[in-house]
Amino acid sequence: MMPAILSHNVPALLEAAKTSLADLVMLYLATEVACQSQATLDAKHRDLNRFLAFYHHLYGHDWLEEWFVSVTKAFLKHLWGQRFTQASEEIRVHGGEFG
């Protein structure tokens, strides 16, 4: 059975991906990720959606021409900060005891 994402019109996605970061993500998922395991597809979809939300919050749009290395670095820094915030919350809630 072919994954549903492969039913996308790849030539149309190629054209749209020239200007839209969200469409570039769809193209990537349709051409590079679609035949991988469901867990991989879910993880990549989740992570890319988080990036798109970050990008949209930053710029208010998904125009590809404003995607710079600095934006990706800022997103990774944001994720790194969230990681420590979540870990601190776990320690506070559980009193440092895990298991």
Residues 86, 42, single domain; the answer is no
pTM over 0.75: no
For residues 42 and 14, state if they share a domain. yes
pLDDT, the chain, mean: 78
- Does 82 lie in the same domain as 46? no
User: Do 1 and 47 belong to one domain?
Assistant: yes
Same domain? For 92 and 50 the reply is no
Confidence of residue 97 (pLDDT cuts 50, 70, 90): very low
pLDDT digits (tens, 9 = 90+) for 31-56: 888 888 989 888 898 999 999 999 99
Residue 97 and residue 50 share a domain: no
Structural domains counted in the chain: 2
Same domain, 46 and 83: no
pLDDT in tens, 68-82: 999 999 999 988 887
The full DSSP string for the chain is ---GGGGS-HHHHHHHTTTBHHHHHHHHIIIIITTS-HHHHHHHHHHHHHHHHHHHHHHSS-BGGG--HHHHHHHHHHHHHHHHHHHHHHHHHHTT---
Residue 42 and residue 85 in one domain: no
87 is in which domain, residue-wise? Answer: 68-99
In this structure, the answer to whether residues 58 and 73 fall within a common structural domain is no
Cα torsion at 49, 53, 58, 64 (round to 10°)?
Answer: 40
